[in-house]
Structure 1
Amino acid sequence: MTNRIKAIAFALLNCYFIINVSAQDSEIKINYTINTNKNVDFNYEKNDLGSYTINLKFTNLINSSNAIEQHFTVKSYSGHFLTLSPQNKDQGVGFAYQYSYIRGKLNPKYNAGFVYLLPCKKHKKVMVADVAFVGARFLGKTTPEDWKVYFFYTPNEDTVTAVRKGLVVEVKDLYETEASADLAYKSNVNEIIVEHEDGTLATYRGFKKGSVVVKLGQTVLPGTTLGLNSKFSINYSFGITLLVTYLKSIDIESSRDTQNSKSLYGFVDPHFCTAENANTTLTAQQEYTEADTPEIVGKELTKKELKQLINKDGSGL
């Protein structure tokens, strides 16, 4: 069972990364304004939530000392990110440019030892499986050195919760999840992406259609219900795939090489707080219990958020 789970999960992940890198349709648009002092202001409009990195490359640049290629992290829906100033103030700046963009902040400073919750309700138990890189198994590609993806599964349909506080930046609740056939993998799954304060991204994949209860732009707290897990095949358990990543490269062209593509995202091997161990990395084919740990839950929360959780739970977190 475990090997088949491994094959399934990354068939979907590989699709996720490539689509987000290559689909340059309308998430971000760049425009510029030439001012009376001959400075050129570059601005952006962004239709998507969360952080994006813009890679701007000038194919022609005259009368300016700016670097030919630069990258910028943008979070708001619109704003200014670059000004070109002429070296010779009597002449304008000549330029031509191209740009690309990708979700995430490039090489964010994150705490590799940060402790996460399990993606289940308090005192619930989940089994854990490692998820393998399907590109290595079927396509002869090399597994990323830092590869780490987990599959959390339960004997029956169960609740999936947030492992950490963050902003919901993507919700996909489109695909039917009736397990009516013995599938080796399924390319279309429902997912939620949550961006954390330190720039890491938690991607939860495999929700039952119609069960997602969070919305785009919502701040979820640790333990917040996200939806229900699902089973895509009659021969598999109910489960959810979880990966925590960060943007480590903006070499988008290399990612389009179908034979030798490299992941633009690095993978975090999360530490988890469980009833068995307050700070541990997980071992495949082991069962873990979600702990009642207010000190873990509250460490990133504001006083208002702490009060909200206390009121929700009654006597405490």
Structure 2
Amino acid sequence: MKKSINYLIALLSIALICKTSYAQNNNITIEITRHDDKSVDLTYKKLLPGSYYLELELNDLTNCNSGDFKGVINNYTGVLLRLKPNNDKQHINFSYSYRYMIGVPNPNIDSSFTYILPFKNGKKFKIGESSHVGEKYLGHERPINWKSYSLNSKNPDTVCSMRKGIVVKIIDDFENNETKGTFFTNKTNEILIEHADGTYARYINLKHKSMFVKLGQTVYPQTALGIMNEYGAENYRLSFQIYSYYYTNFKEKDKQLKENESSLKFIAPKFITQNGIVNIKSGQEYMAGFNETVMFKEFRKSEQKKYKKDPTLFN
């Protein structure tokens, strides 16, 4: 008979990368199941969607030669380790600690991948490169690879997904009057989407209670995400970033944080427009456009058939 217990005290240490890391207490918990044959399973439960890098370390391990886990977990539940005893007449004893962060460390990214601009097909905006708020307002050093875009509008336009992915974070806590009339605030509503290759797209400054998507939802290019929020006295603004995580372990990450103030690798991808595929140049106008080659790049065949039959299902 299997008997599932929380065996010994787990020391949970969550290392925060920066605001965009979103590691949360008790998102991932570890459970231990002891079997009659003296083997032990260490399993996890994850509350939030998306990929997480997890390190599980076994300490004072006896009656077993193998242990420790370092890797990426994607599912909501799963087995991390199965321990088998050297002597099946005795128990395996140990203590353990674990920690985790959002993201796939150092993913293999296709630098030629083409994104769709984050607004509806046919819409035109002037896109600029955003300054680093830490550098501009707090005197911090600008990260070497910093890349963030922004666009202004006189109207509260719809923000769209640039690529197929999964919604892994939604912040929708701030009333619009908290940001109205300000040019710098950390009280912004936003959506974070994880892509299949381990990159993320962050859509910043969305109107409160305007979100069209839910946590864990799969979105597609041109899927409506939310509405642009006010910025300053007369404009509406969207800021957006594309990045991946580059840490390899927590000790190295801590060192990198002190040196670079970031464990993110920002990306400046190619975008498809009405005038072809381009690299964005700050201060120029671009009109959103796409073709089936770009749109269907990450679609399954069944999704392509559904889209061709009724594109509105993907909006």
In 1, distance between residues paired with 2:220 and 2:38? 47
- 2:20 counterpart (7, 16, 25): 16
Partner residue in 2 for 1:242: 240
Partner residue in 2 for 1:105: 104
Partner residue in 2 for 1:286: 284
The Cα shift of 1:36 comes to 3.0
Question: Cα deviations across residues 222-257 of structure 1 (Å, max 9, x unaligned)?
Answer: 11111111123216x322121122222165565599
Supply the AA of the counterpart residue of 2:70. Answer: H
Partner residue in 2 for 1:296: 294
Partner residue in 2 for 1:6: none
Question: Do the aligned partners of residues 192 and 181 (structure 1) sit closer, same or farther apart at CA in structure 2, a change above 3 Å counting?
Answer: closer
- Tell whether 2:171 aligns with 1:172: yes
The Cα shift of 1:125 comes to 0.7
TM-score, length of structure 2 as denominator length: 0.83
Question: Do the aligned partners of residues 64 and 131 (structure 1) sit closer, same or farther apart at CA in structure 2, a change above 3 Å counting?
Answer: farther
> Greater shift after overlay, 43-52 or 146-155?
146-155
Partner residue in 1 for 2:218: 219
Partner residue in 1 for 2:81: 82
Contact kept? 1:151, 1:239, Cα under 8 Å: yes
- Tell whether 2:56 aligns with 1:52: no
| Secondary structure of residue in 1 paired with 2:173 | coil
Partner residue in 1 for 2:183: 184
Runs of 5+ unmatched residues, structure 2:
1-16
Contact kept? 2:107, 2:244, Cα under 8 Å: yes
Contact kept? 1:162, 1:225, Cα under 8 Å: yes
Partner residue in 1 for 2:275: 276
The Cα shift of 1:273 comes to 0.8
Partner residue in 2 for 1:115: 114
In 2, distance between residues paired with 1:181 and 1:210? 16
Task: Give me the CA root mean square deviation.
Answer: 2.8
Q: Percent identity?
A: 30
The Cα shift of 1:87 comes to 4.4
| Secondary structure of residue in 1 paired with 2:216 | coil
The Cα shift of 1:117 comes to 0.1
In 2, distance between residues paired with 1:167 and 1:152? 24
The Cα shift of 1:193 comes to 1.5
The Cα shift of 1:73 comes to 1.4
Partner residue in 1 for 2:266: 267
Question: Do the aligned partners of residues 174 and 138 (structure 1) sit closer, same or farther apart at CA in structure 2, a change above 3 Å counting?
Answer: closer
In 2, distance between residues paired with 1:205 and 1:170? 12
Contact kept? 1:168, 1:193, Cα under 8 Å: yes
The Cα shift of 1:177 comes to 1.9
Question: Cα deviations across residues 4-53 of structure 1 (Å, max 9, x unaligned)?
Answer: xxxxxxxxx95333xx24x3x22110011233333321100111111111
Question: Do the aligned partners of residues 292 and 108 (structure 1) sit closer, same or farther apart at CA in structure 2, a change above 3 Å counting?
Answer: closer
TM-score, length of structure 1 as denominator length: 0.82
In 2, distance between residues paired with 1:259 and 1:184? 27
Question: Cα deviations across residues 124-158 of structure 1 (Å, max 9, x unaligned)?
Answer: 11221212333334445443332222113323221
Aligned residues: 296
The Cα shift of 1:259 comes to 6.0
> Greater shift after overlay, 159-168 or 266-275?
266-275
| Secondary structure of residue in 1 paired with 2:229 | coil
Partner residue in 1 for 2:303: 305
In 1, distance between residues paired with 2:63 and 2:164? 46
The Cα shift of 1:171 comes to 2.1
In 2, distance between residues paired with 1:211 and 1:273? 26
In 2, distance between residues paired with 1:239 and 1:44? 40
In 2, distance between residues paired with 1:288 and 1:185? 25
| Secondary structure of residue in 2 paired with 1:231 | strand
Question: Do the aligned partners of residues 204 and 104 (structure 1) sit closer, same or farther apart at CA in structure 2, a change above 3 Å counting?
Answer: same
Partner residue in 2 for 1:133: 132
Partner residue in 2 for 1:3: none
Contact kept? 1:168, 1:192, Cα under 8 Å: yes
Contact kept? 1:179, 1:233, Cα under 8 Å: no
Runs of 5+ unmatched residues, structure 1:
1-12
The Cα shift of 1:204 comes to 1.0
| Secondary structure of residue in 1 paired with 2:29 | strand
Question: Do the aligned partners of residues 76 and 259 (structure 1) sit closer, same or farther apart at CA in structure 2, a change above 3 Å counting?
Answer: closer
